[in-house]
Amino acid sequence: MQLPTRPRLVLLDLDGTLTDSAPGIMASMRHAFGALGLPVPDDAGLRSMVGPPLQVSIAEQGVPDELSDALIDAYRAEFRREGMLGGNSVFPGVPEALDALRAAGLPLAVATSKPQVFARQIAEHFDLARHMVGDVEGVFGADMDGGPRATKAAVIEHALTSLAARGLDLREHPQDVVMVGDRSHDVHGAAAHGIATVGVAWGYAEPGELEDAGAVTVVRHPDELAALIA
């Protein structure tokens, strides 16, 4: 898979790509495990939960199926209360990178495994939404509970379908779209649609994770993005 010479759309992950959300997510998850009397994963385990769909992360920590819903509820309550904004920040260099991509005339949209309702609040709070196609309406995320958008591939499909309804229809032209993300599920979700991924090294991937997943390349700093894909 190759990067397009001139993309017609750039899809951006949120956690670990635009925002450093690990402190808030880890603290909220630590609280949730403790509230249910479950063994709290160590920091490495908690950090591994940042980015992938929540149900996948919980299963990987060995949480029994019958407790997963309660754990998610406890996590989200604490995340809303404190972790979503209080334990979150924009990575240095990201605002400038978004400015450069927009200045180059590239349409941008967020495609994240985070619930869409949370993602849009975060994007607005940190002044990221203004860079996206349709402002906050260009921020696409997962369903909150039990809906069909439970995977990154499903979120990307939702983004492409929604943008098509607004006149930016690239569903039959995946070679003109680029995904930018920090975890393997970003790469795999994009690949399911024939979309190439640029990995970012400042996020939460393990060493070699993005390359092994099939990212076309990995950039080390946000200022490399515009030079690479604009």
Task: Show me where the domains of the chain are located.
Answer: 9-20+89-229, 22-86
Predicted pLDDT at 50:
87
Give the angle subtended at the CA of 15 by the CAs of 10 and 21, to the nearest 5°.
Answer: 150
- Residues annotated as catalytic are 13
| 135-165 residue pLDDT tens | 999 999 999 876 789 899 999 999 999 999 9
Predicted pLDDT at 166:
95
C-beta of residue 118 within 8 angstroms of C-beta of residue 102: no
pLDDT above 90 for 22: yes
| 70-100 residue pLDDT tens | 999 999 999 999 989 998 999 999 999 999 9
Mean pLDDT of 104-117: 96
Q: Identify the three-state secondary structure at position 179.
A: strand
Predicted pLDDT at 143:
92
9-20+89-229: CATH topology is Rossmann fold (3.40.50)
Express as a percent the part of the chain with pLDDT over 70.
100
Predicted pLDDT at 55:
83
- C-alpha 186: how far from chain center: 7
Q: Which CATH class is domain 22-86?
A: mainly alpha
Residue 219 phi, psi dihedral angles, 5° rounding:
-100, 150
Residues ≥6 apart with Cβ < 8 Å to 106: 7, 9, 10, 229, 230
Give me the residue label for tokens 């985070």.
Answer: 114
Same fold, 9-20+89-229 and 22-86: no
Torsion of CA 95, 101, 102, 108, to 10 degrees: -90
Predicted pLDDT at 145:
74
User: How does residue 190 score in pLDDT terms, banded at 50, 70 and 90?
Assistant: very high
Predicted pLDDT at 52:
80
Predicted pLDDT at 27:
95
